[in-house]
Amino acid sequence: MGELVLVRHGETDWSRERRHTGLTDVPLTARGEGQARALRGALDGRRIVRTLVSPARRARRTAELAGLPVDEIDPGLREWDYGGYEGITTAEIQKERPGWYLWDDGVVPGDAGHPGETVRQVGARADAVLARVRPPPADGDVVLVAHAHFLRVLTARWLGLEPALGRLFALATGTLSVLGTEHGRPVITAWNVPAP
């Protein structure tokens, strides 16, 4: 049976600075482009039958540099909409809201372009994506190229966990993770693997 391969896009200036990067369309850094190219080696030997990519340019460019044929640009794969916290670091938010934690406390609404999402709303999007790709076809793997927080929520949902338990799955830029099954039950078969 095929597996679900998750690719987090390469580094951006905002990811390096640990800024919440939801809907803002920032490009990869030179390091991020190198991470994306290096993913080719991690994907070698996999029979990829379908690739879905977030509409964000950082994800599309990662897919291109990793040599992935893009079958579908899927708006459901976009990152969590951080609302009024878009572009702001956790440390900056905690100056005004001591102890704030995204997974527990959520976001505040932003402008019309960044209204914000709850973790449950992100979970509903993840469920919709999983409904389109589950189960992976028997003849190969499905690749999703997207973003850290979204892929963490999607992983929680794959495992049948509440969306907020995505907090348990740290995910670095330019990494590959694999979701599969064991005895017919969903499992993680690889996680947060950097490119060789």
Domains in the chain, number: 1
Which whole-number Å values give the CA distances from 97 to 100, 109, 120, in the listed order? 6, 15, 22
Cα–Cα distance for residue pair 152/140, rounded to 1 Å? 23
Cα–Cα distance for residue pair 163/161, rounded to 1 Å? 6
Cis peptide before 135 (omega within 30 of 0): yes
Which residue, among 167, 148, 182, 165, has the nearest Cα to 6 in the 3D structure?
148
Write down the pLDDT at residue 54: 98
In a domain, 91, yes or no: no
Cα–Cα distance for residue pair 141/46, rounded to 1 Å? 7
In a domain, 128, yes or no: yes
Catalytic residue among 9, 20, 114, 147: 9
Cα–Cα distance for residue pair 100/177, rounded to 1 Å? 28
Quick one: tokens of 51?
């690739």
Write down the pLDDT at residue 168: 98
Catalytic residue among 3, 11, 33, 79: 79
Which residue, among 180, 187, 195, has the nearest Cα to 5 in the 3D structure?
180
CATH number at residue 180: 3.40.50.1240
Write down the pLDDT at residue 137: 86
Quick one: tokens of 136?
């992976």
What string of pLDDT tens digits covers the 196 residues of the chain? 899 999 999 999 999 999 999 999 999 999 999 999 999 999 988 999 999 999 999 999 999 999 999 999 999 999 999 999 999 999 999 999 999 999 999 999 999 999 999 999 999 999 999 999 998 888 999 999 999 999 999 999 999 999 999 999 999 999 999 999 999 999 999 999 998 8
Cα–Cα distance for residue pair 4/158, rounded to 1 Å? 10
Domain region containing 181? 4-79+118-194
Write down the pLDDT at residue 195: 85
Is there a catalytic annotation at residue 117?
no
In a domain, 67, yes or no: yes
Is there a catalytic annotation at residue 114?
no
